[in-house]
Structure 1
Amino acid sequence: MEVSFFVLASFMTLSSAQLTVNVKNKGGDLIQESIQADVAQDLIHLQFQKPDGTLISLLIDFKSEVQIFKALVLGEEERGQSQYQVMCFITKFTKSEFISSDAMSKLRQKNPGTIRNPEEDKGQEHIFMDLQIDLKESSKFSKHIYNTCMEAQDSTYIRESDIRALSKGNNYTYNSLLSATKPLTIQKMPHCHDMTNAWKPCTCQFEICLGWYPCGLKYCKGRDSVGKVVSFRCGIKTCRKCRTFDFFVKQKQLCLWDEP
């Protein structure tokens, strides 16, 4: 059980802390995740590198209830690609999906070299990104999007349903948030893996799997100094989840990984 490997050091008062976790992906490759909490800004940042060199990062902005998935994919020079390309996928964040930045900052690992196995597999989510965010207006969603995604000027995406959900707890109305985006013709485009012409637009797919992350707290019961039964945090619950993003690209050349 993960509770035997991780402790919540409630006496710690650090504003930020970093955890390094070893986990195997679906193919059996060893991945090293770095998870950092910033209590002052109420953020969590998770990052790892895939075996093919792709750099994946996730920034969770608890204040704005937004999570930013960023992928930096190395180019295939022999196929005419540039050195790398960057994509950002913005989704609504539900606070129950991840432990708080405060709890994360207090998490201490007893055996850092151990390969971790998540307790629960939350399966696969398929997300259709039907809007592109104008980075100049991205602060309407989160002040952290611009700096995180500045290299993805034409490839920062969000879906309309998330805009509708975000508008309910945002300083901006639905129409104001929508005005910071432009629609994409994703529903009418063929999938890139079905095309042979590398220079025509298509709908690309990209998968991001978080092999291990703290998705909840565990509570134990004990007695206080006067013998009263009390509940206290004593560990974490861990999960795994994959997401497949569908999004528009101007040409298949920008989606060479999405092939049969």
Structure 2
Amino acid sequence: MIFVKHVLLVCLSLGLLLQCIQTQLIVNVKNKGGDVIREVITGNTTSDVVELQFRNTDGTIINQFIDFKSEVQIFRAYVLWEEELGFTRNKPFTLCFVSRFNKNEFISSDAMSKLRQKNPTAIRTPEEERTPEMHIMELQMNLKRTDVISPNIQRVCRDANSTTYVKESDIKIWSQALGQDMNVLMSTVRKTYPEKYPNCKDTNSITSPCLCHYHICVGWYPCGLKYCRGKDSAGRYLSYRCGIKTCRRFISYDFVIDKKYNCLWDDV
């Protein structure tokens, strides 16, 4: 079972001091290359959100943020500078991929608050490897207007003003699920037409727009609950929660980037 450090935080919201219970879970995961990745998973039952964060071996920081109320999932990649052919991008670069979240893909913030662990230094191995996902993110979001979907998008992606992406199919589902007018939601995005651009690895000009590919691997996460069967004092069979199911997932994103030098990893 999983150990959770319970931390009592004091949150400032609209000038009022509020108490928020936040839980934190630290997990060590060995990737397929043999490196150990340290994941930090936090859950806030008051806001009904969960966040998973880890640093890749290349220094990139990945955040997975889940807003259960709005059915929104955000993957944020904080990419360090790179150098190629004498050209240096000397500032970190942030990418955000926003998608609809299915509630059976991750345990709830309430379930997170109930986890325990006896050995926090152990190397964890997931029980299941999910089918790889491939997404073409054909829309770019205007962060100033995204509050109609979730107030967390602008906060999490604040450093990705022109590099926050979403799919039109998810916009349509949110329109139905949130009861929002489709035209209002589409006013928060602009189309980028990925089919019109060459792959960045096939583009010679380092300052030209192109179709970029980005891959994220989450090596371990609590993807569901386990239930066992037993008997109560009267001898009747019952089902009770007896643990968590853990998974690994691989996600690939295709999206239009304004300049190839913001997608240098595609040449590797």
Partner residue, 2:138: 130
Alignment correspondent of 1:171 = 179
Q: What is the CA deviation profile of residues 38-83 of structure 1, one whole-angstrom value per residue up to 9, with x for unaligned ones? A: 0001100000000110000011000000101100000125632032
Q: Show the counterpart of 1:162.
A: 170
Q: 1:11 is matched with which residue?
A: none
TM-score normalised by L of structure 2: 0.90
Q: Which residue of 1 aligns with 2:76?
A: 70
Q: Which residue of 2 aligns with 1:148?
A: 156
- Partner residue of 2:229 out of 203, 213, 221: 221
| Structure 2 counterpart of 1:22 | 28
Question: Is contact 1:215–1:236 with CA below 8 Å preserved after alignment?
Answer: yes
- Work out the CA distance in 2 between the residues paired with 1:129 and 1:25: 27
1:225 CA displacement: 3.1
**Aligned residue type for 1:191:** N
In the other structure, the counterpart of 2:128 is 120
User: What is the 5 A alignment of 1:198-217?
Assistant: 198-217=206-225
| Identity score, percent | 48
For residues 40-119 of structure 1, the aligned pairs below 5 Å read 40-76=46-82, 79-119=87-127
What is the match of residue 204 of structure 2? Answer: 196
Where 1:235 maps in the other structure, the secondary structure is strand
> SS at 2:96's partner residue?
strand
Structure 2: state its 5+ residue gaps.
Answer: 5-19
- Could you say which residue in structure 2 is the equivalent of 1:36? 42
Q: What secondary structure does 2:70 align onto?
A: coil
Runs of 4 or more consecutive aligned structure 1 residues displaced over 3 Å after TM superposition: 5-8
Structure 1 unaligned spans of 5+? 9-13
CA deviations over 1:129-151 (Å, ceiling 9, x no partner): 10011000011111101111111
The residue type paired with residue 48 of structure 1 is F
Q: Which has the higher contact order (CA 8 A, sep 6+)?
A: 1
The one-letter code of the counterpart of 1:135 is L
AA aligned to 1:58 is Q
Give the distance between the partners of 1:64 and 1:160, measured in 2 at CA: 16
Residues 97-143 of structure 1: CA deviation (Å, up to 9, x unaligned): 01111001111112111111111100311100100110000111111
Give the corresponding residue for 1:259. 267
Q: CA shift at 1:7, angstroms?
A: 7.9
CA distance in 1, matches of 2:115, 2:234: 28
Q: Distance in 1 between matches of 2:42 and 2:173?
A: 27
Q: How does 1:233-244 map to 2 (within 5 A)?
A: 233-244=241-252
Query: Compared with structure 1, are the counterparts of its residues 15 and 222 closer, same or farther at alpha carbon in structure 2 (3 Å cutoff)?
Result: farther
Per mean C-alpha deviation after superposition, the further-off stretch among 102-111 and 86-95 is 102-111
Give the distance between the partners of 1:241 and 1:155, measured in 2 at CA. 23
Is the 1:224–1:230 contact (alpha carbons within 8 Å) kept by the matching residues of 2?
yes
CA RMSD of aligned residues (A): 1.6
